[in-house]
Amino acid sequence: MNHEAKRINATVLMCDMRGFTALVDALDPIEAMKLATSVMSELGRVVEESGGVVDKFMGDGLLAHFGVEQDDTLHALSACNCALRIKESEILINAMRYSESLPVISMGIGLCTGPLAVGMITTKNKVELSVFGDTVNMASRIENLTRLFQVDILMSSQTAAQVEGHFQLKAMPPAKLRGKSGEYVSHWLLPVNTPATT
């Protein structure tokens, strides 16, 4: 197996369960673990069925990438479709939780397209593919903006440029990103049933 790092262009998806810390505080630890496990398992399934790869689970969220392990020139499109499918799954999960008088969940998603360093992390008993670079950091920071703007899915300008015409997008007001100078314009991926505006 070739463990040398390589540089590719791909799309990163960062998904986070909003308010998870407060939710955990209100739940028995076992119930909190069951919630995180069931939700992340469902989201992982959606990612894989959408052509992506889960890089890592992070308790209340996940990092996934598209276009890394296979030659996918439409990786940005695949990632956007995945994000919309995650929100559809959220509706089904919440319908079940609501019927059982359980707290509902809400997901924020950030997408970023750009260069990535891809390499293998090896230990004595494990070899794991992982991605590195500012594109990963940007996906996380863009996801953080979903709270500021109170929307579900935001993407970078690079991602928006690749999927324009396939989805309804709206440029958001410039905003500060943690650890970055200046202000950044992210783009809102609207739900598929949103009426078109002229």
pLDDT tens digits for 30-76? 887 888 888 899 999 999 999 999 999 887 889 999 998 766 779 99
In the predicted model, is pLDDT for residue 150 greater than 70? yes
Low-confidence winner among 31-40, 142-151, 178-187 (lowest mean pLDDT): 31-40
State the pLDDT confidence band at 1, using cuts at 50, 70 and 90.
very low
CB 89 within 8 A of CB 109: no
Residue 184's H or E segment, with its range, is: strand 183-184
pTM of the model: 0.89
Amino acid 71: pLDDT? 67
Domains located in the chain, CATH noted: 6-189 (3.30.70.1230)
Task: Using alpha carbons, select from 114, 106, 196, 105 the residue that is nearest to residue 155.
Answer: 114
Q: How far apart are CA 187 and CA 134, in angstroms?
A: 18
Better pLDDT: 191 or 165: 165
pLDDT above 70 (res 80): yes
Mean pLDDT of the 13-24 span: 83
Closest residue by Cα to residue 16 from 45, 51, 40, 34:
40
- Pick the residue with more confidence: 184 or 19? 184
CA distance 182 to 175: 8
Report the pLDDT value the prediction gives residue 159, as an integer from 0 to 100.
97
State phi, psi for 107 to the nearest 5 degrees. -110, 135
- Residues 72-110, buried b or exposed e (16+ Cβ, 10 A)? bebbbbbbbbbbbbbbebbeebeeebeeeeeeebbbbbb
Q: Of 114, 115, 178, whose CA–CA distance to 145 is shortest? A: 178
Q: Of 134 and 31, which is predicted with more confidence?
A: 134
Mean pLDDT confidence for 175-183: 88
pLDDT over 60 at 195, yes or no: no
Per-residue pLDDT tens digits for 88-120: 999 999 998 889 887 788 999 999 999 999 887
Which carries the bigger pLDDT value, residue 32 or residue 9? Answer: 9
Residue 133's pLDDT is: 92
Q: What is the mean pLDDT of residues 68-89?
A: 90
- Type of residue at 61: G
